[in-house]
A and B are shown apart, each in its own frame.
Chain A
Amino acid sequence: DIQMTQSPASLSASLEEIVTITCQASQDIGNWLAWYQQKPGKSPQLLIYGATSLADGVPSRFSGSRSGTQYSLKISRLQVEDPGIYYCLQGYSAPYTFGAGTKLELK
């Protein structure tokens, strides 16, 4: 199975701050990487797909990048509605696997 190592596990940041979350894949997954935001009691919402493509309706302050088997989600200017838990997902091969999640809070 492909392991997705996500870091950090938790993060506290101020409004307008730049935030970066990373996922390291245990093997090559190409661009088959998606990022999600989940709020309490809700289902995960797609932010980024194909490692770098912004999902419909997602603010442009969210962006994704790839360097080899390391993938990053960047929030360029943290807003009050951005706290939640962020997950990465590899959709390259089954069993599809998620990162353990990053809990983002406002400082």
Chain B
Amino acid sequence: QVQLQQSGAELVKPGSSVKISCKASGYTFTSYDMHWIKQQPGNGLEWIGWIYPGNGNTKYNQKFNGKATLTADKSSSTAYMQLSSLTSEDSAVYFCAIGKFAYWGQGTLVTVSS
């Protein structure tokens, strides 16, 4: 069965960067777009972008250009999202999802605080 296992919660300082992961299993990693979604506390869902692990192609929501960088490691079937120049506005739960959002990871909480 499809499983997306995300890395654990992160507490990071303003101005720093963080890299969170999403390890995939149960399907061919290189055959499906991996999407990333942001959910701020008490707020709705916002699409960040996708990466196609087969060739590394990416597409970003313009709002997250320069904020998020998506990569993928085919050898470990793991997708990554790096968030840079963090502010309090980046404090959120981040999800990975595949299959046109049919399958989701459990989410990674990122808290930006000094």
Q: Do A and B bind each other?
A: yes
- Interface of A toward B, CB cutoff 8 Å: 34, 36, 42-46, 49, 55, 87, 89, 91, 94-101
Partner of A91, one of B63, B101, B106: B101
Return the chain B residue nearest A55 by Cβ: B102
Return the chain B residue nearest A32 by Cβ: B100
Is B62 part of the contact surface with A, judged by Cβ < 8 Å? yes
Contact between B44 and A87, CB atoms less than 8 A apart = yes
Partner of A46, one of B47, B63, B101: B101
Contact between A95 and B45, CB atoms less than 8 A apart = no
Neighbouring A residues of B105 by C-beta, 8 Å: 43
Neighbouring B residues of A91 by C-beta, 8 Å: 100-101
Contact between A95 and B61, CB atoms less than 8 A apart = yes
Contact between A98 and B106, CB atoms less than 8 A apart = no
A64 to B110, CA, bound (A): 34
Q: Given A34-B101, A46-B102, A55-B102, verify A94-B61 contact (CB < 8 Å).
A: yes
Neighbouring A residues of B102 by C-beta, 8 Å: 46, 49, 55
Is B95 part of the contact surface with A, judged by Cβ < 8 Å? yes
Neighbouring B residues of A101 by C-beta, 8 Å: 44-45
Is B59 part of the contact surface with A, judged by Cβ < 8 Å? yes
Q: Given A43-B95, A94-B59, A94-B61, verify A99-B104 contact (CB < 8 Å).
A: no
Contact between A98 and B46, CB atoms less than 8 A apart = yes
Contact between A43 and B106, CB atoms less than 8 A apart = yes
Neighbouring A residues of B106 by C-beta, 8 Å: 42-43
Contact between A89 and B101, CB atoms less than 8 A apart = yes
Is B107 part of the contact surface with A, judged by Cβ < 8 Å? yes
Contact between A44 and B100, CB atoms less than 8 A apart = no
Separation in Å of the A64 CB from the closest CB of chain B?
Answer: 15
A96 to B104, CA, bound (A): 15
Return the chain B residue nearest A95 by Cβ: B61
Instruction: Kindly supply a per-residue 1/0 record for chain B positions 58-90, scoring 1 wherever the CB is within 8 Å of any chain A CB and 0 otherwise.
Output: 010111000000000000000000000000000
